């Protein structure tokens, strides 16, 4: 703001100078009418000249100060290389996204809720031309205190250094490269009011771990990511809670909050975008989760395959994810009789089609339909007859609705979700989201 | 979109360094776009009020009346024009250049530098090739005649919008005879 004020002050200086010079002169004389008229004409001419000068100055300033400045190109001499006007690029950029959701269960309207689902503030700061830090701080459910349901979380906080034009190294708390949504979870980036079930119940979005990772962007369209990170903590499994049935990995993630670090995990992801509009990829994560504290050593493995194709106005995508937890028979033995035992496998997949039906300027209407099948307890390790829990049947959900974009980074959403098994969950959703 | 006071303060204080990753200089880009050119002449053109209005009526938001162009020549024969530009990706600027032939058709788009953590794929020839042959009569729109890159929607959209603006401006100049 200071800069802008001083810019304006500088721009007005010629006008002030002209008035200062001309006005006292005009007042000092006991001029005749003709004299006055002549002086007025002179003033008008001067003013016009100053106005023109001012307009030119403002034009130059606004061109220089614009976030994305005017196109520039110069002679083919070395000066050309400096043509792109990088001078106005800020080192620190504030970002934010948020979503406010309304859920009305069709058969149980008394459970209707409106929630400030997420409010996220972040920044990206560049230390130099190769190194930056990226952060996101999130508040869920609006108010976080001992008596309120909200949570405050650091969702991302990593430093990235570009080693060469192809490879960057990331260290800190980062999102895991798995599925389509986890790394692109802003409300403007996905269809539907709520995030899909597969990428919340099976892939525990927003899933992050602490560690180091390399990101390679190859010239053949492949993006390769891999690294070493913290993992899950099987000791957090609460057999008396339903949480593990809602999302097995969501209930034992550590989120770098005093995370146990005896065990670590390896992860990798490959994504190919070599054909415009097409993305094919997959991710793999595997790491021990007993952290030296559980009765038996246990390993959590999660993998996914995903595809997205956006030909013309269409937006088609598919994800399949499957997770396993090893040695659950030993881990479950002391928990027999409890509500929620540890599943040995869980999986889910979805198919989704969206279509840009209408657009005008920055408005766009995109109806979509999604079919999901997911099972958070597809199998249990054998504990013996009568003791081994029955695997749960898969839930199937149809979601149909539309995203209405109204401006760059703003979305209003509406959808209806129909559950095959848990029909009490059938609901109508509305959502408002933004991202910048 | 950006937090303006921070942006402006940084503008005031920061040296005019370009951030990595820089792939190409504008001169190299011009040569790639017009490999048959023998020389490039710089020319600055200021759009008049009527031209600015024409652009606005066509749904473009010209950021400046002043445009600096590189005219490509082979002997006395004009081949076309190269315009360098910078648009915002998600967080950072993307530098690119568009080459437009004397027939008003895009020769190509070159990405000079890209700094975002995601979306480097807009550099890939397969994505940039989509622009070749497009004219002011083409939509030049993501989700229409330009396919998106999953995970880099903002970068794709902003570069595409930038190219459409450049094509429209060059078409105006071409018709007014300013490029001959």
Residue B70 φ then ψ, to 5°: -115, 120
With 60 as the cut, is the pLDDT of residue A69 above it?
Answer: no
Q: Is A31 an interface residue toward B (CB < 8 Å)?
A: no
Is the CB of B84 less than 8 angstroms away from the CB of A134? Answer: no
d(CA B3, CA B11): 12
**Is A83 within 8 Å of A36 (Cβ atoms)?**
no
d(CA B41, CA A369): 53
Q: What is the pLDDT of residue B153?
A: 87
| Residues within 8 A of B (CB atoms), A 196-215 only | 215
Helix (H, G, I), strand (E, B) or coil at A279: strand
Structural domain includes residue B72: yes
Is the CB of B124 less than 8 angstroms away from the CB of A409? Answer: no
Residue B71: give the domain boundaries.
18-176
| pLDDT tens figures, A191-230 | 999 999 999 999 999 999 999 999 999 989 999 999 999 9
Q: What is the pLDDT of residue A23?
A: 42
Give the pLDDT band (50/70/90) at residue B3.
very low
Residue A282 φ then ψ, to 5°: -165, 160
Give this complex's ipTM. 0.76
- Give the distance, in angstroms, between the CA of residue B90 and the centroid of all CA atoms in the same chain: 17
Given the DSSP bridges, would you call strands A131-140 and A151-162 parallel, antiparallel or unpaired? antiparallel
Q: What is the pLDDT of residue A71?
A: 38
d(CA B116, CA A422): 42
Give the pLDDT band (50/70/90) at residue A59.
low
Structural domain includes residue B59: yes
- The alpha helices in B34-131, defined as continuous H runs, are 49-57, 125-128
Q: What is the pLDDT of residue A50?
A: 61
d(CA A131, CA A116): 34
Compare B85 and A342 and report the one with higher pLDDT: A342
Compare A71 and B136 and report the one with higher pLDDT: B136
Write down the residue that tokens 């094509």 correspond to. Answer: B167
Structural domain includes residue B7: no
Least confident of A47-51, A213-217, B22-26: A47-51
**Largest Cα–Cα distance of chain A, in whole Å?**
117
Structural domain includes residue B9: no
Domain residue extents for chain A: 2-67, 89-435
Query: Which residues of chain B does A65 touch, with a Cβ-Cβ cutoff of 8 Å?
Result: 8, 11
**Pair of tokens at residue A279:** 């993305």
Share of chain A above pLDDT 90, in %: 75
Structural domain includes residue B10: no
| pLDDT tens figures, B57-89 | 888 876 778 888 999 999 999 999 999 988 988
Query: Which residues of chain B does A168 touch, with a Cβ-Cβ cutoff of 8 Å?
Result: 117
A4 Cα to chain B: minimum distance (Å) = 8
Determine if the peptide bond prior to B21 is cis (ω within 30°).
yes
Residue A340 φ then ψ, to 5°: -130, 105
Q: Is A356 an interface residue toward B (CB < 8 Å)?
A: yes
Q: What is the pLDDT of residue A43?
A: 62
Q: What is the pLDDT of residue A41?
A: 60
Is the CB of B151 less than 8 angstroms away from the CB of A183? Answer: yes
Number of independent structural domains in chain B: 1
Is the CB of B19 less than 8 angstroms away from the CB of A129? Answer: yes
Q: Which helix (H) or strand (E) holds A147?
A: none
Q: What is the pLDDT of residue B19?
A: 40
Structural domain includes residue B30: yes
CATH class of A89-435: mainly beta
Write down the residue that tokens 């007993």 correspond to. Answer: A290
- Quick one: average pLDDT of A364-375? 98
Is the CB of A68 less than 8 angstroms away from the CB of B93? Answer: yes
d(CA B89, CA A122): 16
Q: Which residues pair with A216 in a beta bridge?
A: A167, A224
Q: Is A276 an interface residue toward B (CB < 8 Å)?
A: yes
With 70 as the cut, is the pLDDT of residue A36 above it?
Answer: no
Q: Is B110 an interface residue toward A (CB < 8 Å)?
A: no
Structural domain includes residue B40: yes
CB-closest option in A73, A75, A273 to B121: A273
Structural domain includes residue B3: no
């Amino acid at each position: 703001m200071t800069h802008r004020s001083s810019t304006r002050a500088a721009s007005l200086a010629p006008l002030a100078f002209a008035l200062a010079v001309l006005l006292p002169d005009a007042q000092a004389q006991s001029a005749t009418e003709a004299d006055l008229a002549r002086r007025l004409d002179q003033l008008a001419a001067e003013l016009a000249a100053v106005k023109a000068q001012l307009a030119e100055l403002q034009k130059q300033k606004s061109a220089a100060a614009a976030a994305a400045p005017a196109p520039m190109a110069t002679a083919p001499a070395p000066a050309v290389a400096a043509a792109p006007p990088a001078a106005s690029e800020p080192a620190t950029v504030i970002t934010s996204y948020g979503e406010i959701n309304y859920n009305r269960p069709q058969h149980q309207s008394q459970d209707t809720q409106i929630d400030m689902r997420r409010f996220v503030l972040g920044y990206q700061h560049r230390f130099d031309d190769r190194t930056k830090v990226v952060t996101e701080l999130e508040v869920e459910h609006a108010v976080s205190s001992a008596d309120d349901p909200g949570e405050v979380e650091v969702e991302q906080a990593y430093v990235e250094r570009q080693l060469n034009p192809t490879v960057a190294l990331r260290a800190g708390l980062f999102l895991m490269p798995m599925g389509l949504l986890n790394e692109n979870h802003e409300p403007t980036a996905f269809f539907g009011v709520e995030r899909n079930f597969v990428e919340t119940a099976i892939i525990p979005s927003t899933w992050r771990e602490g560690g180091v990772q390399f990101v390679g962007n190859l010239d053949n369209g492949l993006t390769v990511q891999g690294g070493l990170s913290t993992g899950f903590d099987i000791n957090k499994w609460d057999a008396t809670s339903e949480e593990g049935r809602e999302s097995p990995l969501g209930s034992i993630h550590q989120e770098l909050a005093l995370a146990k670090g005896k065990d670590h995990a390896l992860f990798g992801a490959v994504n190919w975008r070599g054909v415009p509009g097409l993305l094919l990829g997959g991710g793999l994560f595997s790491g021990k989760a007993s952290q030296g504290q559980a009765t038996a050593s246990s390993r959590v493995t999660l993998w996914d395959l995903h595809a997205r194709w956006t030909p013309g106005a269409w937006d088609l995508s598919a994800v399949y994810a499957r997770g396993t937890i090893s040695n659950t028979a030993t881990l479950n033995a002391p928990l027999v009789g409890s509500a929620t035992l540890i599943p040995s496998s869980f999986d889910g997949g979805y198919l989704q089609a969206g279509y840009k039906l209408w657009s005008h300027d920055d408005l766009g209407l995109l109806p979509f339909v999604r079919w999901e099948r997911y099972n958070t307890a597809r199998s249990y390790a054998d504990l013996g007859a009568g003791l081994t829990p029955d695997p749960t049947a898969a839930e199937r959900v149809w979601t149909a609705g539309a995203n209405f974009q109204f401006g760059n980074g703003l979305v209003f959403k509406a959808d209806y979700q129909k559950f095959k098994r848990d029909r009490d969950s059938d609901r109508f959703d509305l959502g408002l989201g933004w991202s910048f | 979109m950006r937090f303006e006071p921070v942006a402006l303060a940084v503008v005031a204080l920061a040296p005019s360094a370009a951030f990595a990753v820089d792939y190409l200089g504008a001169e190299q880009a011009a040569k790639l776009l017009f490999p048959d050119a023998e020389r490039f002449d710089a020319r600055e053109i200021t759009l008049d009020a009527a031209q600015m209005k024409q652009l606005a009526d066509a749904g473009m938001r010209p950021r400046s009346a002043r445009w600096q162009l590189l005219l490509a020549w082979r002997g006395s024969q004009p081949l076309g024009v190269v315009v360098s530009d910078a648009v915002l990706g998600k967080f950072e600027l993307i530098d690119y250049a568009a080459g437009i032939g004397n027939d008003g058709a895009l020769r190509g788009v070159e990405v000079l530098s890209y700094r975002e953590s995601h979306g480097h794929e807009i550099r890939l020839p397969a994505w940039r090739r989509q622009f070749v042959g497009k004219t002011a009569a083409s939509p030049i729109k993501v989700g229409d005649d330009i396919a998106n890159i999953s995970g880099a929607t903002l970068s794709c959209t902003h570069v595409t919008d930038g190219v459409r603006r450049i094509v429209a401006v060059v078409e105006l100049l071409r018709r007014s005879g300013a490029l001959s």
